[in-house]
Amino acid sequence: MNKAYKTVSESQVTISELMLPSHTNFSGKIHGGYILSLLDQIAFACASKHSETYCVTASVDTVDFLQPIEVGELVTMKASVNFVGNTSIIIGIRVEAENIRTGKVKHCNSSYFTMVAKGEHEKNIKVPGLILQSENELRRFFKSIKRIELRRERKDYSDHVKYNAKDMLPDLDRYNVKIDI
C-alpha cells in the first residue's frame, strides 16, 4: 500500500544488541567496523520501511564515534527518516550503549545515511513524501538540507580548485609530510 506521504514515526526502527567479545578490536573495545555494519542494516530497514521497496546505501555523510562501546553493554540504535528527496531518503541514526549493571546510558554515535529506493531492474523510484509533526522533526529536516548544501559546496569547490604543486609546497610546512618525488 503506497502512500503519497508518511509520518516519521511510521518508518522508525529501533534495534538492540548485546556486545560480545567477538565484536572487539585489538584494544578490547567494540570494533567500529562492526558498528558501521549495524548502522547500514538499520538504515536499510528504516529506508525500506518508508519507501516500501528495496533501498541501497548511496552515501554516508557523517559517522561520529563519540565514546567507545564496551563488551557487555547493550547497544541500541534508533533510526528515523530525517529527509526525503525524489528517490533518496536521509536516515538519522543515534547509537546509545547501556551498562546493564549500572543502568548508565551513553550516547556513542550519530550518523546520517543517504539511501536510494530501487524498483524493477535496479531503477531509482520515487519515495513517499514526509509529514513532519514536531519541532524536532522539522529541525532534523532543515539540518539535512544544510548538510546537502554543504556537501554540494565542498564538491563544487574541490572540482574547481586548481592544484599547482609549486604554489602549494610552502603551505605544506605545517603538515606531517615529506615530499620525495
| Residues in a beta bridge with 94 | 78, 110
What is the mean predicted confidence (pLDDT) over 88-93? 98
Confidence class for position 67, pLDDT limits 50, 70, 90: very high
Higher pLDDT, 178 or 90: 90
pLDDT of 163 above 90: no
Confidence class for position 175, pLDDT limits 50, 70, 90: confident
Q: What is the pLDDT of residues 7-50, one digit of tens each?
A: 999 999 999 999 999 999 999 999 999 999 999 999 999 999 99
* Amino acid 98: pLDDT: 98
All 3 cell numbers of residue 45? 530497514
| Residues in a beta bridge with 80 | 92
Nearest CA among 70, 98, 93, 73 for reference residue 11: 93
Residue 40 · residue 98 · CB < 8 Å: no
SS3 state of residue 16: strand
Phi, psi (deg, nearest 5) at residue 129: -70, 180
CATH code 3.60.20.10 for 5-162: no
Confidence class for position 173, pLDDT limits 50, 70, 90: confident
Residue written as cell 531518503? 89
The per-residue b/e assignment along 27-51, b for 16 or more CB within 10 angstroms, e otherwise, is eebbbeebbeebbbebbbbbbbbbb
**CA separation for the pair 72, 30 (Å, rounded):** 10
Confidence class for position 165, pLDDT limits 50, 70, 90: confident
The domain ranges of the chain are 5-162
**pTM, entire model:** 0.88
pLDDT of 179 above 90: no
Sign of CA dihedral 138, 140, 143, 147: negative
Confidence class for position 1, pLDDT limits 50, 70, 90: low
Nearest CA among 84, 54, 67 for reference residue 145: 84
What's the mean pLDDT when you consider all of the chain?
A: 93
DSSP alpha helix (H) spans, the chain: 32-51, 135-160, 165-168
* Amino acid 58: pLDDT: 96
What is the mean predicted confidence (pLDDT) over 74-92? 98
